[in-house]
Structure 1
Amino acid sequence: MAEHPRRIVMLVQNGVTGDSRVQKEAESAAAAGYEVVLLGASPTGKAQEWAVGGATVRLVPVDRVFDRRRHEARRGWLRSPLAYPPGPLAAYRHRQARAWRADLDTARAGGASPLALAPREAAYRAFWGWTGLRRKATRRLEADRAAAASGVDRLAARFWKAALGDRAWRRLDPALWDLELSFGPVVDELRPDLVHANDFQMLGVGARAKLRAAAAGRDVKLVWDAHEYLPGMKSWKDHPWWKDAQLGHEREFAPHADAVVTVSGTLAEMLRERHRLPALPEVVMNVPDTGGTAETPEPGLRERCGIGPGTPLMVYSGAPLEQRGLHILVEALPALPGVHAALVVSYPHWRYVQRTQARAAELGVADRVHVLSYVPHRQVVPFLAEADLGVIPIHHWGNHEISLITKFFEYSHARIPIVVSDVKTMSELVHRTGQGEVFTAEDTADFTRAVRSVLDDPEAYRKAYAERVPLGDWTWDAQAKRLTDLYERLLGA
């Protein structure tokens, strides 16, 4: 009787569709003969399921209860006695006052005399003033708690770190429990042979699943796929406790990984040193999947922008985060007459994208800025190839200095010149290969200079792809074999 294939459960905290790395990993593992279930977080709050290659994608609803820390769910008796308690009461009182105002206006319109309405008007004004004072106190209390900048908040953070050490994330950012409580039961039900946890937030989910399986007599291997160097990241949430919570969570659960995978050699060395890993993490670069049948996007990039082949076009492709610096494309357009900018982003509705579009309107260049959604990952390279240059305008953050990010490889396989900020690793590579220009991060004038240099002589940069850029090494087939070889070492052939 044929042996049942080993089951791999992959975990990621996003909605999968915009994450080309996890999709490629799931497809490659399935092609190697494993039964693969890729679990992501549902953006709609409803369970979803589909196939990617031979793998199954399941999106899990995540109930975000712990986004508010415990003290934010308590009444601030000492800090702000006038503030309403957490919950719907403040909104209810405001609505109640508006209804009272509408009732008075209706009575006046119906002919009631001012004298008859005077007592009710006085009572309304008193209620409006009192509730307004309390709502103002409530907003101030909520803002203070969100900033966690008071002496009480700083003292609380120091206390929990001293008392609990790395376990202090349970108090500093209990939202990590929302992932465990949503994903943990699903992982247990699937009874995997191996859990592949992508990024730092899913590491704890994978580690706890491994420990529960061991207690039940099953051997489950854990692979931690570290996409980022957490100490060098900008916080995802604007809260001073968030970063420390993630760092403690990562340190607590990193020792449970049977193997670590990451995206670059530099990051592998840094992770080994930081977590005292017994072996250097396996490097699986996030390069495009250029094998198989190419998929041509319909419509293409220029058609979606509404421009012809002769119009100069620069493209940014990636997540729309402020530290990624994509607004510099808009800021430069007044000095680049006739040039268009395509912003291909994972979340076009995010406020940063909307602010960038509003800024384009202020500068009078809105007709040359095109905000577009992602295309399927197999279409990315031909989609981007229609641009005249690709832009990587990221700011100086520790994690950015050591990264060779996905879009770098995508632009390279599209064989378009790259304009990159002077972050260490990517700028050094561009200087070495000659495939683009480097500019000073956040410097619009220098960015404009770099774009002009490329547009003035694009072929001088494009020829680097035939002469000096190692595109043959930057292919997913080679990277996927490293991953499946790792699975085989952990699970057996």
Structure 2
Amino acid sequence: MSAERRLRVLVVTHVVRENDGQGRVNYEIARALLAAGHQVTLLASMVAPELLAHPALRHVEIPVSRVPSRLLQYQLFALRTGAWIRAHREEYDVVHVNGFISWARADVNAVHFVHDGWYRCGFYPYRFFDGWYGAYQVIYTRVNAWCERWAFRRSRVIVPVSHKVGEEVRALGLDASALRVIHNGVDTDQFAPGPSERERFGLPRDVFMLLFAGDLRLSRKNLDAVLRALALTPPHVHVAVAGGLRNSTYPALARELGVADRVHFLDFVTDMPALMRSTDAFVFPSRYEAMSLVLLEALSVGLPVITVATAGGSEVIDSRCGVVLDSPEDTPGLARAIERVAGNAQYAREMGQAARELARTLTWPTMAERYLSLYEELARGNDAVRLELAGEVLPGRS
């Protein structure tokens, strides 16, 4: 394949926009492809307007279904995209999907979450006989796990977003040679060190401020461990919590633990870079995570990170820029790690500088370049297959 050839790439995902985890990854891939002069088709329900304005981008909209439950909605999306891909497959050099998202074969399958890994990680909270909600969650997880296994086996290359996810994919019996780990990225310009704005967020000034950010509806994010660890730390340690508070039980837990005056629930925060710059360290003991963008963002702002091995992304952290605990249930260990960082300003400052340096190696352009290199490699392979089928002689063959 010549260096000047324009690739025709089809990307299949639900959402392509900046403020969405998987959506942000595909947003950056699409931007990089367009900047390199390639043609991009997005088979998606929603695409950021700034991408739609580009002449080399085509959006094939898959409307969001109105059927009840995410399980049925995702299956309908997969059926519709599968039919479309089968009808148009020959128009593309590379087809890129994300996990189980389509009943179709693909060249690249980027894996952002492994339902079987979540189910078997030891912290899965649902049981089939614990009422209708528990039964639905188990059915949802097991059906998606089966569908993911089907999708992985019909993809030429599987791209886990972390080595942790890669291990979970290999546990399904997939060929390790088909795996290429590509870590997610971060915008180091948007998420950069800068002046604190604690007054803007209603945070006290003369305390050591931890930051926790995540969906408070999900027990796997493990805010309960943070609150319990906080109760074991000195009173000058506080935590700012960014996440939706509707129907949350965590304010009551903070009161029960006697730390309500040290926990600052901020609900949804739209300016996360400013909030991060207003805190001193990031704490993230998630019970299960594939590759957390917020963890990379905290590193980029220059925050020491206290996390656990079950949180995807922890694999990039070493002792220079953070603390990685073995278990998300090690509350005393979490408290000791917090105390160590909060009790030594020089230590925390040096960790923050190392965190920023690490983040500079994990930018969105770095990630996107790896995907583009993979697309070019696969397109060359597709060309070779087409030539063989056409009966042409390839270089080096008789």
Taking structure 2 as the reference length, the TM-score comes to: 0.70
Q: 2:249 aligns with which of 341, 355, 358?
A: 355
Once the two structures are superposed, the pairs formed by residues 403-442 of structure 1 within 5 Å of their partners are 405-421=292-308, 423=310, 430=317, 432-433=319-320, 435-436=322-323, 438=325, 441-442=328-329
Alignment of 1:473 with 2:361, yes or no, is yes
Q: Is the 8 A contact 1:360 1:369 kept in 2?
A: no
Q: Report how far residue 322 of structure 1 moved.
A: 0.8
1:317 aligns with: 213
Q: Is the 8 A contact 2:229 2:332 kept in 1?
A: yes
More helix per residue: 1 or 2? 1
Q: 2:98 aligns with which of 182, 185, 198?
A: 198
Cα distance change of structure 1 residues 459 and 284 upon mapping to structure 2, 3 Å threshold: same
2:224 aligns with: 327
CA distance in 2, matches of 1:326, 1:9: 38
Once the two structures are superposed, the pairs formed by residues 241-320 of structure 1 within 5 Å of their partners are 241-268=139-166, 271-272=169-170, 274-277=172-175, 279-290=177-188, 294=190, 302-307=198-203, 309-320=205-216
**Could you report, residue by residue, the CA deviation over 1:118-141 in whole angstroms, capped at 9, with x for unpaired residues?**
xxxxxxxxxxxxxxxxxxxxxxxx
Q: Report how far residue 301 of structure 1 moved.
A: 6.1
Cα distance change of structure 1 residues 323 and 425 upon mapping to structure 2, 3 Å threshold: closer
Cα distance change of structure 1 residues 423 and 261 upon mapping to structure 2, 3 Å threshold: closer
Q: 1:365 aligns with which of 257, 260, 263?
A: 260
Q: Is the 8 A contact 1:419 1:437 kept in 2?
A: yes
Q: 1:233 aligns with which of 110, 118, 138?
A: 118
RMSD value, Cα: 4.2
1:390 aligns with: 282
CA distance in 1, matches of 2:96, 2:277: 32
Cα distance change of structure 1 residues 463 and 4 upon mapping to structure 2, 3 Å threshold: closer
Q: Per chain length, whose mean CA-contact separation is higher, i.e. which structure has more relative contact order (CA < 8 Å, sep 6+)?
A: 2
Cα distance change of structure 1 residues 281 and 289 upon mapping to structure 2, 3 Å threshold: farther
Q: Report how far residue 411 of structure 1 moved.
A: 2.2
Cα distance change of structure 1 residues 344 and 61 upon mapping to structure 2, 3 Å threshold: farther
Once the two structures are superposed, the pairs formed by residues 46-195 of structure 1 within 5 Å of their partners are 50-52=49-51, 60-65=62-67, 67=69, 176-181=74-79, 183-184=81-82, 193=92, 194-195=94-95
**Could you report, residue by residue, the CA deviation over 1:400-421 in whole angstroms, capped at 9, with x for unpaired residues?**
5xx5533332222222111223
CA distance in 2, matches of 1:441, 1:295: 26
Cα distance change of structure 1 residues 185 and 440 upon mapping to structure 2, 3 Å threshold: closer
2:390 aligns with: none
**Could you report, residue by residue, the CA deviation over 1:192-251 in whole angstroms, capped at 9, with x for unpaired residues?**
62332122x31xx1x43x5xxxxxxxxxx5321012333211469733333332232123
Query: Any gaps of 5 or more consecutive residues in structure 1?
Result: 43-47, 69-172, 211-220
Alignment of 1:337 with 2:235, yes or no, is yes
Secondary structure (helix, strand or coil) at the match of 2:346 reads helix
Secondary structure (helix, strand or coil) at the match of 1:233 reads helix
Once the two structures are superposed, the pairs formed by residues 439-454 of structure 1 within 5 Å of their partners are 441-454=328-341
Letter in 1 for 2:368: A
1:75 aligns with: none
Q: Report how far residue 316 of structure 1 moved.
A: 1.7
Letter in 1 for 2:169: L
Alignment of 1:224 with 2:109, yes or no, is yes
CA distance in 1, matches of 2:324, 2:14: 34
Segment of structure 1 superposing worse, 12-21 or 317-326: 12-21
Taking structure 1 as the reference length, the TM-score comes to: 0.59
CA distance in 2, matches of 1:300, 1:460: 19
**Percent of matched pairs sharing the same residue:** 21
CA distance in 2, matches of 1:409, 1:294: 12
CA distance in 2, matches of 1:373, 1:424: 22
Alignment of 1:36 with 2:36, yes or no, is no
Query: Any gaps of 5 or more consecutive residues in structure 2?
Result: 127-132, 384-398
Letter in 1 for 2:13: V
1:8 aligns with: 9
Cα distance change of structure 1 residues 298 and 342 upon mapping to structure 2, 3 Å threshold: same
Q: Report how far residue 9 of structure 1 moved.
A: 3.4
